[in-house]
Chain A
Amino acid sequence: MDVNEVPLLEVRDLKVHFVIKKRIGGVKGVVRAVDGVSLKIRKGDVIALVGESGCGKTTLGKAIAGLVKPTEGTILWKGRDVWKMYREDPKGFFEYKLRVQYMPQDPYSAFNPSKTVFEILCTPLLKWKRVTSRAECIDYVLKILSDIKVTPPEEYIFRYPHQLSGGERQRILFALITSVEPDVVVADEPITAVDVALRVDLMNLMLEYWERRRVAYVFISHELASARYITEKTGGKIGVMYLGKFVEFGPPRAVIENPLHPYTQALVDAAPELDLEIARKKRLRLREVDIPSATNPPKGCRFHTRCPYAMDICTEKEPPLIEVENGRYVRCWLYAKR
Chain B
Amino acid sequence: MEGVLELPPNVVLRAEDLSVVYKMPRGIARVVDRVTIDFRVGRVTAIVGESGSGKTMMASALMKLVPYPGKIEGRILFRSDLLGGVVDILKLSPKELRIIRWREIAMVFQGAQNSFNPTIKIKDHFLDTARAHGLDEKIALEKACKLLELVKLDPERVLESYPHQLSGGMKQRTLIALSLLLDPKVLILDEPTSALDLISQKVLIDLLKDIHERYHMTMIFITHDLPLIAGLAHYVAVMYAFKVVEFGPIDKIIRNPRHPYTVGLLKAIPPLRGELRFVKPIPGSHPDPVNPPPGCRFWPRCPLATDVCRKVEPKMVEVEKDHFVACHRWEEVEVSKLWT
Contact = CB atoms under 8 A, between A and B. Distances in A.
B198 A225 contact: no
Contacts of B228: 272
Contacts of B251: 276
Identify which of B199, B255, B285 gathers the most chain A CB atoms within 10 Å of its CB.
Answer: B199
**CB-based closest 6 A-B pairs:** A270-B202, A279-B231, A272-B227, A279-B230, A229-B270, A197-B268
A280 B272 contact: no
Interface string A215-236: 0000000111110110011000
B231 A271 contact: no
Contacts of A283: 206
A229 B279 contact: yes
A52 B200 CA distance: 9
B51 A196 contact: no
Given A272-B225, A290-B167, A195 B230 contact: no
Nearest to B193: A272
A77 to B, nearest CB: 31
Interface in A162-190: 165-166
B198 A196 contact: no
B155 to A, nearest CB: 15
Interface stretch (A198-206, A311-319, A324-332): A198-206
A223 B321 CA distance: 35
Size class of the contact patch on chain A: 35 or more
18 contacts: A52-B200, A53-B168, A196-B269, A197-B281, A200-B279, A224-B198, A225-B227, A266-B199, A270-B202, A272-B228, A273-B230, A273-B273, A276-B254, A283-B206, A284-B199, A284-B203, A289-B169, A290-B169
Nearest to A226: B270
Given A229-B279, A283-B206, A274 B197 contact: no
Contacts of B279: 200, 204, 229
Contact of A270 (B50, B199, B255): B199
A119 interface: no
Nearest to B170: A290
A269 B227 CA distance: 13
A266 B198 CA distance: 10
Interface in B231-252: 231, 250-251
Size class of the contact patch on chain B: 35 or more
A196 B226 contact: yes
Contacts of B170: 290
B241 to A, nearest CB: 14
Given A197-B265, A200-B279, A273 B197 contact: no
B230 A276 contact: yes
A276 B266 CA distance: 13
Contact of B226 (A166, A204, A269, A274): A274
A204 B227 CA distance: 20
A199 B231 CA distance: 21
Nearest to B264: A197
A222 B168 CA distance: 15
Interface of A: 52-53, 165-166, 195-201, 203-204, 222-226, 228-229, 232-233, 256-257, 266-276, 279-284, 286, 289-291
Contacts of B319: none
A282 B285 contact: no
A222 B197 CA distance: 6
Contacts of A269: 202
B227 A196 contact: yes
Nearest to A267: B198
Contacts of B197: 52-53, 222
B224 A273 contact: no
Contacts of A286: 199
A279 B227 CA distance: 8
Contact of A229 (B168, B255, B266, B276): B276
Interface in B193-210: 197-203, 206
Contact of A196 (B206, B250, B268, B276): B268
B338 interface: no
A224 B272 contact: yes
A274 B276 contact: no
A200 B191 CA distance: 20
A197 B285 contact: no
B152 interface: yes
B282 interface: yes
A197 B203 contact: no
A200 B278 CA distance: 9
A147 B295 CA distance: 33
B210 to A, nearest CB: 10
